[in-house]
Structure 1
Amino acid sequence: MAYIFLLIGFVLLIKGADLFVDGSSNIATLLRISPVLIGLTIVAFGTSSPEATVSIIAALKGNAGVSLGNVIGSSIFNITLVVGIAAFIYPLKVESETTKKEIPFTLLASVVLLVLSSDMILQGFDNNALTRSDGLIFLLFLSIFIYYVFEVAMKNRQKADDRKIPDSVKWGKSILFAVLGLAGIILGGEMVVRNGTKIAYSLGMSETLVGLTIIAIGTSLPELVTSIAAALKKQSEIALGNIVGSNIFNILFVLGSASVISPLVVDGKVFIDLLVLIFLTVLLLIFSRTNYKIGKIEGMLLVFGYLIYIVYIILRN
């Protein structure tokens, strides 16, 4: 039954995130918020909301391995498999601002996570942990990112004011979608954590491994679906922007909120995964700087990289 409830939880997470993104985007449209602001915040936050729900619930239950594994695993999944598949479908055009500010900011967030997790090496403590003060630092960095996004939005304000609001976009329907989506995300997240942890123990898997694999892949499905849909519609900027924004929210908002609620003990194995994440973010930056697009060959390399990583962490367990 645990497998069935896990599957139902994933369905609720995915559908909930879909409704939440639609509802929130429509509300932003009605408020005449810039499309740039919608893409970098609401859509990114909406597709990251399953990770946030799962990690916060796991933190409340004392399952730190699930929280950390989910965030790091989801971020690696996003950079490799999601970007890779989207680029293979249709080469991803990269905006210059993305290579100058947004991807470097993602890299900065990953490095900050590595530094704040290294208590034994840097401070001589008995164990590694993300404390409440570390969580506040993450949220401070997030506020800096939000400020940057608002600066970008202000520059594009004229474009937002000129947009015509479709007749199908209504306040009542938009609010209903957002509320139903949020409910689906919360309920689905609870089911995924509870049943994913049960399955992990029954198979002799560690909390960190199940977070890095089963839960990470499940909670990253909204990013995968959104980016593939964008690539099929040849809206490549949305595909890459969604991933970059989601990874920033994953580290800064999700881990920041989770560790403020309940300090997270860091498993030593996670440091290898963190170094993999940093390496992949640098690789994404290099690929993005090559003619400002990520092509089919780079996409295939990223997908292949994820397959190697999955084999490694399964054998490591």
Structure 2
Amino acid sequence: MQMVLQIVLLIAGFVALIKGADLFVDGSSSLAAIFKVPSIIIGLTIVAMGTSAPELAVSTSAAINGSNEIAVSNVVGSNLFNLLMVLGICALIKPLPLDNVIKKRDFPFSIIITIALFVALGVGVLKSTEFATVKMGDNVTTLERWMGIALIAIFVVYIIVLIRSALKNKTEGEAVKQMSPLKSVLFVLIGIALIVAGGHFVVESAKYIAAAFGMSETLIGLTIVAVGTSLPELVTSVVASRKGENGLAVGNVVGSNIFNILLILGVSGTIHPIRVNFASMIDIAILIAVSILVFIFALRNKINRPQGAVMILIYIATMVFAIVR
């Protein structure tokens, strides 16, 4: 009976996260429109943060509660799901073109920051680990508070660059639906409340289910939690792809992955230093390899259907490896 209750709470948590992110984006976008903020800026900041809000809620809740394995594996798992499954499914629907700005700036930047994170954490691994005896669940390094602050600082600089670029190009995005100021504020507050509550339910239920089935928090964070918190990106990108807005689908995924690494791990690590186990280090290395592979696919300006199918198969193989290791 307790297991059924925890599964129901897990699903309810995911629903609260997704609906909360939706309300937060609508309310924030409306407030920005009321104050005459250009819609392109809204898209680059508020909407992008909104689709990453579930990951932020889960990882920060995990960090506060000391569930460090979920904090890291949720981000890595979400980025893997975004790159391989979201883009793979979109490419199957219709070949994915890659915007030149994303190809030259954002995609390489996402790879660079992932490599930088791996190197920074890897220094701790080399100092503290006897590789002959290390096990997957052993903590081998720490995402220190200074690393978290550095990630947030890089995130702020990245946002400034995005906004300056958008203003320079003077490109307007889709018109924002404007509500009354009171309704906008209510949407923001309710959205935040749902995101916070959903994040708490997801973390606590996931921990219970992991313990009941003998699964590690790393595994459940990499799979169930990561997929659940990536649903906003999946829905946004698939809808965009079906409408022929494939450039938006790619931008949403790449932008979300950058937000996940810089903002979510940055905030989580600043709140509380995060112990990182050996399995998560392997997963970050896999994420780097996958990112480079997808970037190579995209260099010809389009991710085609066969490549999309390969990406989905790689994701399945990665999850199988995570389960059996």
Q: TM-score range by the shorter chain?
A: over 0.9
User: In 2, are the aligned partners of 1:74 and 1:219 still within 8 Å (CA)?
Assistant: yes
How far apart in 1 are the matches of 2:199 and 2:274?
A: 18
Aligned to 2:277: 267
Write the deviation string for residues 169-213 of structure 1: whole angstroms up to 9, x where unpaired. Answer: 443333322222111111100000011100000100111111101
User: In 2, are the aligned partners of 1:40 and 1:242 still within 8 Å (CA)?
Assistant: no
User: Is structure 2 residue 81 aligned with structure 1 residue 68?
Assistant: no
**Equivalent position to 2:168, from 155, 167, 171:** 155
Deviation (angstroms), 1:270: 1.2
**Equivalent position to 2:188, from 153, 178, 185:** 178
How far apart in 2 are the matches of 1:144 and 1:188?
A: 30
Work out the number of aligned pairs and report it: 311
**Equivalent position to 1:306, from 312, 315, 321:** 315
**Equivalent position to 1:145, from 158, 182, 202:** 158
How far apart in 1 are the matches of 2:109 and 2:190?
A: 32
How far apart in 1 are the matches of 2:125 and 2:207?
A: 30
Deviation (angstroms), 1:281: 1.1
Aligned to 1:92: 96
TM-score (norm: length of structure 2): 0.91
**Equivalent position to 1:230, from 217, 230, 240:** 240
Write the deviation string for residues 6-52 of structure 1: whole angstroms up to 9, x where unpaired. Answer: 11111111111122222223333333434433333222211111000
User: In 1, are the aligned partners of 2:124 and 2:142 still within 8 Å (CA)?
Assistant: no
**Equivalent position to 1:106, from 106, 110, 117:** 110
How far apart in 2 are the matches of 1:163 and 1:70?
A: 31
How far apart in 1 are the matches of 2:176 and 2:266?
A: 35
SS in 1 for 2:323: helix
Deviation (angstroms), 1:236: 1.2
TM-score (norm: length of structure 1): 0.93
**Equivalent position to 1:294, from 290, 293, 303:** 303
User: In 1, are the aligned partners of 2:39 and 2:175 still within 8 Å (CA)?
Assistant: no
User: In 2, are the aligned partners of 1:2 and 1:198 still within 8 Å (CA)?
Assistant: yes
Runs of 4+ residues deviating >6 angstroms: 162-165
User: In 2, are the aligned partners of 1:107 and 1:278 still within 8 Å (CA)?
Assistant: yes
Q: 1:91–1:314: structure 2 CA closer, same or farther, 3 Å change rule?
A: same
> What root-mean-square deviation, in Å, do the aligned CA atoms of Structure 1 and Structure 2 show?
1.8
SS in 2 for 1:257: helix
